[in-house]
Chains A and B, each alone.
Chain A
Amino acid sequence: MLRRGELNKTSGARHKQSELTGVKGPLDTSSSTQEKPLLELHGLSTGYGETQVLWDISLHVMHGEVVALVGANGAGKSTLLNTISGLLQSWEGTIVFAGRDITRYRAERIAKLGLVQVPQGRRLFGGLTIEENLRLGAYTNRAGSARAIAADLERVYMLLPKLCERRKQLTHSLSGGEQQMCAIARGLMARPNLLLIDELSLGLAPNIVDDLLTAIDNIHRQEKMSFLLVEQDVQIALERAHRAYVLEGGHIVLSGPATDLLKSEKIRIAYLGA
């Protein structure tokens, strides 16, 4: 469980941190219409080998926004995330991040710009300890110095105290929830401007998912970090996000404010079964 008391005590210190990261996005998403989006996709299509998976995807994420990408199995959600983070090359279209065309960038260069992915299935460095995993998260050294990385580490431990307890434990011996925690923490250690989280809830008990989402909520509030959440669990995703896109068979079929989508008849019938 997350200790809210502890979080409140240190929120002052973390406020300084968020100033350091230099995220100057608008605090309110409604006022952000004139602002340039942090991430913008235009007419993106891609696939594997001969098989096309995504058709003409356009979406955007504003500064400080939490956007959900929902859809059934095989809709192309993970493919889309992998294309954004550069692990997969796009066939057509453009990806613009923080004003820069990153369509042809390699994954490591994209990570350096502050667009970081928490991959599906966690993909931790199993033979290394939690702390080593977290330190590798700071590999791009966006924090700037060893001291700043150490401060980030403290901050992440404060946010997810369970990781601190087990910092010397090898990650392949962790439970699923702890591994997911570690994967998210590793993503945070990169000091992202935009964190892509692929299937946060996959294989986790509902209360653990709640804990993790609460942690993300806190980070979002305190750091004004943007999130793109890919979820199969539509209910969870729509409750937490500002806006959402619905992906179906490789096309975006629906988009809008999350609260509207949650109420929409189509979503209820297709995904929520009610």
Chain B
Amino acid sequence: MILRTKTAPTAKAPSLKQREERGWLWSLLLGLGILGLIATIPWFGDSSALHTWTLILMFVILAQSWNFIGGFTGYSAFGNVAFFGIGAYTTGLMLLSHQPFWLGLIADALVAALFAFLLGLPVLRLRGHYFAIATLGIAEALREFVAVRDIGGGGGGLMSLPLPSLDAYVGFFYAFLGLSLLCLLITVFLTRSRFGYALIAIRENEQAAEALGVPTYWYKVGSFVLSAVPTALAGGLYAYWATGFDPDTVFNVGISAEMVLLTYLGGSGTILGPLLGAIAFEYASFQLQTSGFSLHNTLLGLSIAIVTIFLPQGCVRLIQEFVRKPAPQSTSAHRLIEGVRRVRRFIAANGI
């Protein structure tokens, strides 16, 4: 009797653990598979497909890196475009002073990290709406500053860079792809590590996290920097890729909003959410744009509203809800009923 009660829980425990571990592994493999498929585009697609997918990958990176501060730590940064702009202008200035591109990117990452750190110190003392507004304001202030001081040197902040060679565009594509892969790996690390769990604890209840010994303030600053660096690198790559840009493009508040939207659409705080959300949304957006549909932006705006009302937990969580294994020995009728139940539960959980 005693033996049986002792062995029962230990026999159960490993199986639970295994299933848990498989969850993140599947997400990682799926993410690698998707990126692997995208990697074949330069071989099969034409130059316009390459152009489109380069930009889609850029948005994937932006969403993935926003997920670090917005999804894991739960701080809705509404000014992350500032890092994108800083990255673009730092790299641009380095190129204009005849430095190699790679050095420009390194400088860009360092400047953005330092800026995020210094900015994080004051603004991460704020919470909720105050934090969102403060970050939004700083991004706007930077845009004005760059335009008024004409940092690009072309009038109103406009910057024109030397043209990269024609075959460099495949290189840009793979650079974006590599950066996105790196972000995917960081995301997986966050879902598995002590640091990542501490960030989630901050999101779920900051005071409790602090009381349990999580150095919340420094971890918030850390996740802010972590989110800034890939964003800035994407900005640097974009700068050379686009060769010409102005403050209104690279400090566009719309990009900030898009980072949030893409992450929420896919599922914030999940491994695959930002990746899937960005690919689905941006691909649809480009298709609509090229089809010449005049209400393109209206539709996109509407989709933001629809997502926040109907899918606040994102598509990945929706899928997760449905791929949960049914109870063993259930008949197909049971499964149908369970499926209907899950739909209703999901809808109820999302407040419709």
Contacts and interface: CB of A to CB of B under 8 A. Distances in A.
Q: Indicate whether A and B interact.
A: yes
A125 B205 contact: yes
A135 interface: yes
Contacts of B207: 87, 119, 123
Given A125-B201, A132-B197, A164-B9, A111 B213 contact: yes
A63 interface: no
B208 interface: yes
B204 A126 contact: yes
Given A108-B213, A111-B213, A132-B197, A125 B9 contact: no
B9 A168 contact: no
Q: Which one of B16, B197, B204, B211 has the greatest number of beta carbons of chain A within 10 Å?
A: B211
B321 interface: no
B320 to A, nearest CB: 13
B216 interface: yes
B200 interface: yes
Contacts of A72: none
A45 to B, nearest CB: 22
Interface string A92-113: 0000000000000011110110
A186 interface: yes
B179 interface: no
B209 interface: yes
Contacts of B201: 125, 128, 136, 139
- Main secondary structure, interface of B, reads helix
Interface string A206-247: 000000000000000000000000000000000000000000
A140 interface: yes
Given A123-B208, A125-B208, A135 B213 contact: no
Given A132-B197, A164-B9, A139 B212 contact: yes
A83 interface: no
B211 A128 contact: no
Interface in B184-223: 194, 197-198, 200-201, 203-205, 207-216
A85 interface: yes
Interface residues of B, number: 20
A124 B207 CA distance: 10
Contacts of B213: 107-109, 111-112, 139-140, 190
A127 interface: yes
A273 B64 CA distance: 60
Interface string A115-137: 01101000111111000100111
A30 B215 CA distance: 38
B211 A116 contact: yes
Given A123-B207, A124-B208, A135 B16 contact: no
Contacts, number: 71
Contact of B204 (A119, A127, A135, A164): A127
Contacts of A87: 207, 210-211
B216 A125 contact: no
A108 B197 contact: no
A112 B214 CA distance: 9
A128 B200 contact: yes
Among B200, B213, B214, B216, max chain A CB count under 10 A is at B213
Nearest to B208: A123
A132 B204 CA distance: 12
B197 A140 contact: no
A125 B269 CA distance: 14
A125 B212 CA distance: 12
Given A164-B9, A168-B16, A136 B211 contact: no
B214 A125 contact: no
B212 A116 contact: yes
Contacts of A107: 210-211, 213
Nearest to A183: B208
Nearest to B206: A123
Contacts of A126: 204-205
A48 B131 CA distance: 22
A246 B194 CA distance: 40
A40 B276 CA distance: 55
Interface string B9-35: 100000010000000000000000000
A117 B209 CA distance: 11
A136 B212 contact: yes
B9 A108 contact: no
B245 to A, nearest CB: 39
Given A108-B215, A125-B204, A136 B210 contact: no
A109 B9 CA distance: 35
Nearest to B5: A6
B197 A135 contact: yes
B208 A119 contact: yes
Given A126-B204, A168-B16, A119 B197 contact: no
Contacts of A186: 212
A139 to B, nearest CB: 5
Given A128-B200, A128-B201, 16 more contacts: A107-B210, A111-B211, A116-B211, A119-B207, A123-B207, A123-B211, A125-B201, A127-B203, A127-B204, A132-B197, A136-B197, A139-B198, A139-B201, A139-B212, A140-B212, A168-B16
30 contacts: A85-B211, A106-B215, A108-B213, A108-B216, A109-B213, A111-B212, A111-B213, A123-B205, A123-B208, A124-B204, A125-B200, A125-B201, A127-B200, A127-B203, A127-B204, A128-B200, A128-B201, A132-B197, A135-B197, A136-B197, A136-B198, A136-B214, A137-B212, A139-B212, A139-B213, A140-B212, A140-B213, A168-B16, A186-B212, A190-B213
Shortest beta-carbon contacts, A-B, top 3: A125-B204, A111-B213, A140-B213
